[in-house]
Amino acid sequence: MEPRGINQPNVTEWFEGNVPDVKAPLEFTLIAGGRSNLTFRVTDSAGHEWALRRPPVSHVLPTAHDMSREYRVITALVPTKVPVPVTIGLCTDPAVNEQPFYVMEFVNGHILRGAGAVTKAFEAATIRGIGDSIADTLATLHAVDVEAVGLSDLARHEGYIDRQIRRWSQQFHDMIVNGEDHGGIVESVGAELAANIPEQKGVSIVHGDYRLDNTVIGDDGKVRAILDWEICTLGDAMADVGVLMCYWNDGSDTNTIPDVSATSSTGMATKAEVLARYAETSGRDVSDVGFYTAFGYWKLACILQGVYCRYLNGAGAGDSAPVDTYPAQIRRLAQTAATTLAAR
């Protein structure tokens, strides 16, 4: 059966004309876990594998899900020390698959989402080093010279947090479902964040959603690839650190995000250790991390609102996991952002 979001005959023909050594027929399998841009594993008759990324199948915002931009960023980083998949081709012809898509190598390894996955895959000595590699890899990304890799014009260099607050506030507003605005807490926290933005120090490539399960971890506990560059831009490196802190639950944090228990596995580095490792490797002042963590929680509330709206409008492409708990999660994220901002 043809997977939703893939015109199998057309995409197969495109593969045959643009991907070296492909052997039709092709099998397309939606990879679970992604709830915005869709990722498919593509396997040919000879067992070769690739990853294909495309926008959601419905309710696509005009400024989101830009495949050309995502492809450009990853391609620019391939020659650097930042671990990314090697890009293979970009298709922008709507006659092929209605929406643009791109193809890259399929990087094998571990995508860690649960505590059981960590202890099953790694010995204790290797587990301890995963947090170090996550921190070091982020520092490597933030050290990239944006002009040297041809990405200086990707976005404005200054005013990142202000731009982000305005962008996500608008997207949250556009994605409100049945008039449910969660009591206005998302808007009020956004206004409080806007009134307390720290000074931006320099410009870096900002991944935007950097966390353990957006990386592929090798058997040695090192990051083999950073995935999901959908909201990457230029701006304040500390925003990535804040998001990482949101997701890095070490068991002592009561503000946990569902389904991120891998970081609390026995032997994993603590949140404080990951932050200290990043500070040491990058040489950055991380004293304002409380603000950026609050911003991270707030941004996640806005993102989750968009995911919720898209899924209600049929953009799951076969991912039928329930989303009925999302409204409560959105409110909780916004409330956590408010608490974190007040305590910074």
Predicted confidence (pLDDT) per residue in 225-245, tens digit: 999 999 999 999 999 999 999
pTM (two decimals): 0.93
pLDDT band at 33 (very low <50, low <70, confident <90, very high): very low
Q: Which residue has the higher pLDDT, 253 or 182?
A: 182
CA atoms of 65 and 319, how far apart (whole Å): 18
Arithmetic mean of pLDDT, 165-186:
91
Q: Quick: pLDDT tens for 247-277.
A: 999 877 766 676 668 999 999 999 999 999 9
Mean of the per-residue pLDDT values for the chain?
92
Tens of pLDDT, residues 91-131: 999 999 999 999 999 999 999 988 889 999 999 999 999 99
